[in-house]
Amino acid sequence: MSKRLACNHCLYALALALLGLFCCIRLPSLVLQYAIIPGIDRESQGWWAQFSKPTRPLPVNGYEVFLPAARTIALNPDFKRVTTWIVWIVPTDSLYKIQFSAEAVSRVTLDGRTLLKAAPKSQSRQVEEKWCRLTQGPHLFRLDMYNKDGGGWFSIGFLRPPLMRLNALQGDMVAVLRSRNLEMWWRFMRLSRPAAWFFGLIAASALLAFLLPLTVTNRWYATIVTMVLILVPALSIPDISRREPYIGPVIHRQLRQKNPRYVFIGNSMLWSRIDDSLLEHLLGNVPVYSIVNFGGLSGIHYLALKYLLIPSGIRPRRVFIFFRGTTLVEPTARTTGPYFETLIKRITPAPDPVFERLAHGRVTSPAGIFQRYLDVLFSVQKNRKLVRDTVNRAAFWLSVPGTGKERRNKRNQLHILVNRQFSLKNVGAGTDKESLRSSSKGTCDFNDCVATSFLPALLDLARKHDLSLVFVRVQERPPDNAPVRDTPEMKRFMADLRSYLLQQGAGLYDFTGDPKLPLSLYGQGDHIEDPRQYTPIFYDRLRGFLQ
């Protein structure tokens, strides 16, 4: 009798905890819907700022003000601390990258969740970034900033795949809040996460308490629970078919309207190098079109050619594909992670079998689907990075234990040392038979890698659709203004690539070592500071391909 009573109590606790968990998960959206949205003013756009602690005697202790929404916002130097609010009306459900930089110690929260934190950076404008998946509709931003000298500035914007252009939170996308008790509602939102954990733990404990007493006599029962606990996550069918909207039709329409003679495919290397309008002018008003997928490498270029250019029906005279180093034969590079998953879904109408096979080593078979299904179910890609980074950080912490700036600096130094120790120049001569066996990564030998790369698929696609491909290797950042020189391995790689492309009827141009590309032209990393400086050089060097 008492056992049954205990079981019932467990079930009641479980039901209540699940209800609490559900409410906590829904709390931010409930607060938004019923407390925040009714108080927003869509007519005026700006930040609702609450200042406090003036640095000089002022007739008021704190006041509130509207700041017009803009990319960068400067704050009154009379105040040390400011809290600003804005409602961002998110245009569509998507993955967004929030970019933020500030002069002072700051924290950005979105719907009560801490999104970004910025340490004081008076010298450099280091940009903090964070990915987040947002649903369409209003979301509450809060920004807290503290500057001991008073005043300061902050800058916030968002980027969205695939184009990843930076947008400011302004115009009709934002609204000013007129709600009262904002602070209180915000604290409610903040509470949702710890409360969800609390109820989750109660639910788990109640479930265990319910299950455990029954195991004493029934081993079959334990076995079934074992199987269920392993299989249940796999049975809660996640929607792996959910896709981002395919942007192909938009690009096809633009291509048809422009009917370009030359099309360029690449990533930020292309974006920072080619100015379409200047090139069109240099070519005598010949239309050109750039398909830029930021961060994308050969796999993404293959998808861009297959799903963005070819279905448009446009047959340009030449298609230029920009690449760096050996990335043309690295099929798995930059094809995983939340950003690339979204990007891939936006540039393809359905999973591409060739891409899946080459980039992810998975086939569109039941086994492949199962693997993808696990990836989605446990957010494997995202969580793997998180967990592995945590293990790495723990190892660094154990190597140099302690808190404080000095210890942190020592850990950073160790990090640099580890990277230097295992840099490419230190590796190689000692590679023995076992090392090769236990490594799945091969060397960068072109002939070994080409068969499993996207290169044959790209060339095959071009041949089928009567397109002429030209591969353009960009020059990497010159070291200390000295000319860029390839290593002997890289020279061999390029020679092999050249002869391969020649055989396949494609062109190749290598900018490496070009005297007209000094360090002064470069911006961040391998990017060119101003594409208008590079475009004439490109026109001059590739005149043969552009005739």
Partner 1 sequence: MSFNSLAYLIYLPVVFTVYWVLPHRWQNVFLFVSSYFFLGFIHPWFASLIFSVSLANYLAGRALGRWPEQGKLVVVLVLIFSLGILGYFKYAGFFLDNLKVLLQSMGLPSFQSSLSILLPVGISFYTFQAVAYSIDVYRKDVPIQKNFIDFALFISFFPQLVAGPIERSRDLMPQVEHRRSLTPEQINHGLLLLVWGFFKKLVIADNTGLIAYKVFSLSDPGFYMVWAGVFSFAIQILADFWSYTDIARGSALLLGFKLSRNFDHPYFATSPADFWRRWHMSLSYWLRDYVYIPLGGSRVRGGRAAGNIMLTFLLSGLWHGASWNFVLWGGYHGLLVLINRWSRTIIDRLKFTVPVWLQPGIITGKMLFTFLLICIGWLMFRVTDTGRLLAMFQLSPWHANGEDLGVAVYLFFLSLLYSMPIWLHGVFHLHWCRRHTLDDPLPDSLLMARPLLMGLLFLGILLLRSPAPSTFIYFQF
Q: Which residues of this protein are in contact with partner 1, per CB under 8 A? A: 208, 211-212, 215-217, 219-220, 222-223, 225-227, 229-230, 367, 371, 374, 378, 380, 383-384, 387-388, 391-392, 394-396, 398-400, 414, 417-418, 421-422, 426-435, 437-441
Nearer to partner 1, 137 or 337 (CB): 337
Give the CA dihedral 33, 37, 39, 44, nearest 10 degrees.
Answer: 180
Minimum CB–partner distance for residue 220 and partner 1 (Å): 5
Is the Cβ–Cβ distance between 49 and 65 less than 8 Å?
yes
Closest CB 397 distance from partner 1, rounded Å: 9
The alpha carbon torsion through 405, 411, 417, 418 (nearest 10 deg) reads -160
The amino acid sitting at 220 is W
The contacts found for 103-106 with CB under 8 angstroms, 24 or more apart, are 103/147, 103/152, 103/153, 103/154, 104/145, 104/146, 104/147, 104/152, 104/154, 105/145, 105/146, 105/147, 106/143, 106/144, 106/145, 106/146, 106/154
List of residues 6+ apart from 445 with CB closer than 8 A: 493
We find the least distance from the C-beta atom of residue 434 to partner 1, in angstroms, to be 6
Nearer to partner 1 (CB atom), residue 399 or residue 447:
399
Distance CA 452, CA 456 (A): 8
Q: Which is nearer to partner 1, 202 or 376 (CB)?
A: 376
Both tokens assigned to 185: 């509602």
- Rounded least distance, CB 211 to partner 1, Å: 6
- Nearest-approach distance from CB 213 to partner 1, in angstroms: 10
Q: Please report which helix (H) or strand (E) contains residue 12, including its range.
A: helix 2-31
Nearer to partner 1, 5 or 220 (CB): 220
- Nearer of residues 281 and 388 to partner 1, judged by Cβ: 388
Kindly report the backbone phi and psi dihedral angles of residue 80, in degrees, each rounded to the nearest multiple of 5, phi listed first.
Answer: -90, -35
Residue whose CB is less far from partner 1, 124 or 423 = 423
Residue 527 DSSP symbol: -
User: What is the β-pairing status of strands 94-102 and 128-134?
Assistant: antiparallel
* Shortest Å distance, C-beta 494 to partner 1: 24
CB of 8 vs partner 1, minimal distance in Å: 20
Q: Which is nearer to partner 1, 237 or 482 (CB)?
A: 237
